[in-house]
Structure 1
Amino acid sequence: MSKAAVDTSPGGVLSRHYLLATLGMVALIGIAAFESLAVTTVMPTVSRQLNGEALYSLTFAAPLATSLVGMVFAGNWADRSGPRSVVISSTLMFAIGLLIVGTAPTMTVLLVGRLVQGFGSGALIVGLYVMVSELYPARLHPSVFAGFAAAWVVPGLVGPVIAGTVTERFGWHWVFLGAMVAAVPAFAMIAPSLRRLAPREAVVPWSAGRILWSGAAAAAVVALNLLSEFPVAVSVAVVVASVLVLAVALRPLLPARTLRAGAGVPTLVLLRGLVGAAFLGGDVYIPYLLSAHYGFSPAASGITLTVGSVSWALASWLVGRLGDRVTQLLGIRIGITLVVVGVVSAVVTPIWHVHPAVLIVGWTLTGFGMGFMYPRFSVLVLRWSGDDERGFNSSALTIADSAGAAVVLALTGAAFGLLGGAQDPGAFVACFGVALAVAVLALAVSGRAIPTGSTDR
């Protein structure tokens, strides 16, 4: 029996029937967005205070690794019994992770908190996606996902500046503790809607194999991000082994033919991973570059992230307004092209030490490109998924997102360390160059996102 919501209400996503659920879910996404931006803004300061520059990239990759496990577990759990238990449990784990990070006295404790937080956030995203499919009728799905993307607008406007200011005046710990407190009222808003979602009969079995494979993939990601801790000879063996494990482990976690860019859902999942990796691969190192070579304070270095997030939200809003006037394939290609242009600006900035305005403008275009295509991935994947595939395919989107970003962060982290770290502009050039190569690859395979003959072309 289909568990998709029956369209019994004529109202929109902000009608009385859906208002609290919409605001609560968007708020949770917004808190996750704030936390992500906050980490990028304050981590240069954290790494200096905790003597953790060697583990800089791992602080970003660690939650991405455990989010893989959280996504697979949550997708399986949601397909078995619905999203209610998934959303409740994952929100709690996300909050616990923030508490550990916010009280961390050492880099090791902070990494533990990031691991817990990553599992919770990965599971939460999948739970919210499935909740959308069961709570809202199909006609409202594009608006909800556009709202999720636009949830970056407020964190993008004030998040980096708030995080930088709090860090300068009170210490970075309070950035994470504040996000934890804010999650409480957000969850309270969705609680009534969660109670309305009846649990399913468990007709989908537990997939222990997929969960174990996700754990293997997570371990490979962590190993890749520890390359700087190994001798050169050992590093080569670690890279080979980790890549092989990832290639094998990800196959059962993604739709068939994803790694071969099969037409339709497989390529949509692959593209989500590639463009997310290209964006985060640049986003992580931009505040570091501005701080190390342009003298920006923690608050000021968040300016680039702010304008990128605002343009992301603006583009997401525009997608909803344009509707079918821009085909899905054209929208995806426009988005990827803008990402390529933005990453090129990041590459040339440290090469010639050009004015940081070039980077800020370029990253504004990158954010717009992401917002112009990101909601399309979720809409199309849900449209082309059966009732018993929504949890799997929703988790696959976020798995590809996290896995792609984690691999790119491993490559950039290794390059950053080998080329001299923050004091050498060449290290930043290498990091942005990796992101550019991934973005170009995404553009090359984008034509397979929409099957031939589809009206979305």
Structure 2
Amino acid sequence: MKTDDKSRWGDLFSGQNAASALALSLGVGLHATNILVATTILPSVVQDIGGLDLYAWNTTLFVVASILGSALSARLLSHYGARGAYLVASLFFIIGAMLCALAPSMPVMLIGRTVQGFGGGLIFALSYAMVSLVFEQRLWPRAMALISAMWGIATLVGPAVGGIFAELNAWRWAFGILLPIMLLYAAFTFHTLPKGELQQQAAPLPVIQLLLLAGAVLVVSAGSLADSGWVNVGGIILALLMMVWLIRREEYSAARLLPYSALRRGSALASLYITVLLLVIGMTSEIFVPYFLQTLHGQSPLISGYMAAMMAAGWTLAEILSSGWRSAGIRRAIISGPILVLIGLLALAILVPTSSSGHWLALWPIMVALTLVGFGIGFGWPHLLTRVLQVTPQEDKSIAGASITTVQMFATALGAALAGMVTNLAVFNSPGGVAGATNSAHWLFLAFAVAPLLAIYTAWRSAAIALPESGAGEPLPTPVSGEY
């Protein structure tokens, strides 16, 4: 964003701005770190309390709850102000972390992850909503960039924290350590952020669409618990019917999740959203990577956590490399992205199921493939999101901005549900162990390669979209980078 008044990073970290910047960025950093910590320690969790058949539910329920939390954040902010909203969000996060730390079984763990996801979703969305309320307009781009950078920092911190506690056989402390940190964070935001209600008008809440979105994911997850393929197919059909209902509801509802006509067949926005959806689904296979690496390749929780995070690192690296591209470069980035993801997933389908001694000669091809998947997504990511805003009518710009995060989180939740379905059908839990992991790894990455394969066509359509003259090709700060 260009303004007459130039901004500097020093302006963001001076006076009251410094405290506000720290409060907003720390919130997203804690949410992002928690996601990567949980992914890293999950193999240790199922070894201790069981629930291997519910492995993917940890991500599914967490992200579904995050979607609902994000959607309710504006309403919470308008009713209780910044201090009250952050206090409520922190309370949900703390209760969820406490339930996870004390969980005697996987069902209790899932309840904790759901509550934690709801609180994390609130904090995540509040941090972006607060940017325009506590900073001058000239500082918005830098504030957005700072918050987005927290995902990169979490990529370094999350696997280390989770891996260390897992190797000490103290995975519960990975959640327990969040309790004092979140209490301090709640106190800090309460004393730092503006007092009283802010002039923030909450948009109408698309309740029916949100319920349909959550229901579609949960139906697929519920079907995945059955050994029968027909039950799984039935769950997918029911989820598709819910999505058809959602599309019809979006056409005439005053409260919408997406810009008007975004889901109409052949529309420019439909191609963009579908491309984003398919790319993120392809990456969701990463939730099983730590388990496969520990079971099939003898890696420690720490090493497997960092290897899984290479998808996120590749995403961030590709965004940095391609964000300044223009014209033909943008089109190449958008079209080549799904191809790179496809190559990465097919390579993983061959490499991961092959057990090894864990020597680096066997691991480096896997690391390259993991990085390639994330790199392919990040390559065209800033340009896909920019095009969403560029082709959206002016009256729907605010909806378009929020919809990007909603679509990405929905894709993550749906991808986790589908991953659970594929692995359970591929005898992940029975017989389990090396045999189950080998078969599951092969079919998981092979099945998920279908997503980027389909995305090649929608990406080609997205790259061919005619853009308005003003602002074309200018990348904007992206709300989520490298993770869900």
1:212 aligns with 2:208: yes
Q: Using the alignment, how far apart are the partners of 1:261 and 1:194 within structure 2?
A: 44
User: Cα distance 1:409–1:260, how it changes in 2: closer, same or farther (>3 A)?
Assistant: farther
User: Cα distance 1:397–1:262, how it changes in 2: closer, same or farther (>3 A)?
Assistant: farther
Query: In the alignment, what sits opposite 2:234?
Result: 237
Counterpart residue type for residue 361 of structure 1: V
Cα distance, 1:43 vs. partner?
Answer: 0.9
Q: 2:348 aligns with which of 346, 349, 359?
A: 346
Q: Using the alignment, how far apart are the partners of 1:186 and 1:6 within structure 2?
A: 33
Q: Using the alignment, how far apart are the partners of 2:378 and 2:143 within structure 1?
A: 14
Cα distance, 1:254 vs. partner?
Answer: 2.7
1:222 aligns with 2:222: no
* Range that drifts further, 231-240 or 155-164: 231-240
- Whether the 8 Å CA contact 2:93–2:118 is kept in 1: the answer is yes
Q: Using the alignment, how far apart are the partners of 1:393 and 1:79 within structure 2?
A: 20
Q: 2:412 aligns with which of 367, 382, 405?
A: 405
Q: Using the alignment, how far apart are the partners of 2:389 and 2:186 within structure 1?
A: 24
Q: Using the alignment, how far apart are the partners of 1:137 and 1:335 within structure 2?
A: 35
Cα distance, 1:225 vs. partner?
Answer: 1.0
Cα distance, 1:64 vs. partner?
Answer: 1.8
Q: Using the alignment, how far apart are the partners of 2:273 and 2:86 within structure 1?
A: 22
Secondary structure at the counterpart of residue 419 of structure 2: helix
- Whether the 8 Å CA contact 1:84–1:199 is kept in 2: the answer is no
Q: Per-residue CA shift, 1:95-146, capped at 9, x if unaligned?
A: 3222221221211111111111222222333222222344456665554444
Query: In the alignment, what sits opposite 2:278?
Result: 274
Counterpart residue type for residue 339 of structure 1: V
Query: In the alignment, what sits opposite 1:392?
Result: 399
Q: 1:294 aligns with which of 287, 290, 297?
A: 297
Identity of aligned residues (%): 24
Secondary structure at the counterpart of residue 301 of structure 2: coil
Secondary structure at the counterpart of residue 55 of structure 2: helix
Secondary structure at the counterpart of residue 14 of structure 2: coil
Q: 1:362 aligns with which of 359, 369, 387?
A: 369
- Whether the 8 Å CA contact 1:261–1:270 is kept in 2: the answer is no
Q: Using the alignment, how far apart are the partners of 2:337 and 2:82 within structure 1?
A: 31
- Whether the 8 Å CA contact 2:66–2:121 is kept in 1: the answer is yes
* Range that drifts further, 259-268 or 174-183: 259-268
Cα distance, 1:21 vs. partner?
Answer: 2.9
- Whether the 8 Å CA contact 1:58–1:222 is kept in 2: the answer is no
Q: Using the alignment, how far apart are the partners of 1:66 and 1:20 within structure 2?
A: 29
Q: Using the alignment, how far apart are the partners of 1:254 and 1:80 within structure 2?
A: 24
- Whether the 8 Å CA contact 1:84–1:127 is kept in 2: the answer is no
1:426 aligns with 2:439: yes
Q: Per-residue CA shift, 1:390-431, capped at 9, x if unaligned?
A: 653343222212222222222221221121115232311221
Counterpart residue type for residue 345 of structure 2: V
- Whether the 8 Å CA contact 1:332–1:446 is kept in 2: the answer is yes
User: Cα distance 1:436–1:261, how it changes in 2: closer, same or farther (>3 A)?
Assistant: farther
Secondary structure at the counterpart of residue 152 of structure 1: helix
User: Cα distance 1:27–1:270, how it changes in 2: closer, same or farther (>3 A)?
Assistant: farther
1:23 aligns with 2:25: no
Query: In the alignment, what sits opposite 2:131?
Result: 132
1:456 aligns with 2:473: yes
User: Cα distance 1:293–1:348, how it changes in 2: closer, same or farther (>3 A)?
Assistant: same
Cα distance, 1:5 vs. partner?
Answer: 12
Cα distance, 1:242 vs. partner?
Answer: 2.6
Secondary structure at the counterpart of residue 118 of structure 2: helix
1:436 aligns with 2:449: yes
* Range that drifts further, 401-410 or 76-85: 76-85
Counterpart residue type for residue 174 of structure 1: W
User: Cα distance 1:23–1:224, how it changes in 2: closer, same or farther (>3 A)?
Assistant: same
- Whether the 8 Å CA contact 2:155–2:313 is kept in 1: the answer is yes
Secondary structure at the counterpart of residue 199 of structure 1: coil
Q: Using the alignment, how far apart are the partners of 1:127 and 1:358 within structure 2?
A: 40
Q: Per-residue CA shift, 1:64-86, capped at 9, x if unaligned?
A: 22223223323566689987765
Q: Using the alignment, how far apart are the partners of 1:129 and 1:337 within structure 2?
A: 32
Cα RMSD of the aligned pairs, angstroms, is 3.6
- Whether the 8 Å CA contact 1:6–1:137 is kept in 2: the answer is no
User: Cα distance 1:378–1:113, how it changes in 2: closer, same or farther (>3 A)?
Assistant: farther
* Range that drifts further, 10-19 or 373-382: 373-382
Secondary structure at the counterpart of residue 456 of structure 1: coil
Counterpart residue type for residue 254 of structure 1: L
Cα distance, 1:364 vs. partner?
Answer: 2.0
* Range that drifts further, 94-103 or 129-138: 129-138
Q: Using the alignment, how far apart are the partners of 2:273 and 2:328 within structure 1?
A: 21
The number of residues matched between the two structures is: 449
Q: Using the alignment, how far apart are the partners of 1:120 and 1:77 within structure 2?
A: 12
Counterpart residue type for residue 342 of structure 1: G
Q: Using the alignment, how far apart are the partners of 2:90 and 2:394 within structure 1?
A: 24
Q: Per-residue CA shift, 1:148-193, capped at 9, x if unaligned?
A: 4432333322421331221221511111222343345555665577
Q: Using the alignment, how far apart are the partners of 2:2 and 2:184 within structure 1?
A: 25
Cα distance, 1:341 vs. partner?
Answer: 3.2
Structure 1, gaps ≥5 residues long: none
Query: In the alignment, what sits opposite 1:246?
Result: 243
Counterpart residue type for residue 236 of structure 2: V
Q: Using the alignment, how far apart are the partners of 1:388 and 1:110 within structure 2?
A: 42
Q: Using the alignment, how far apart are the partners of 2:244 and 2:292 within structure 1?
A: 32
Q: Using the alignment, how far apart are the partners of 1:263 and 1:79 within structure 2?
A: 34
Secondary structure at the counterpart of residue 177 of structure 2: helix
Structure 2, gaps ≥5 residues long: 251-255, 357-361, 475-484
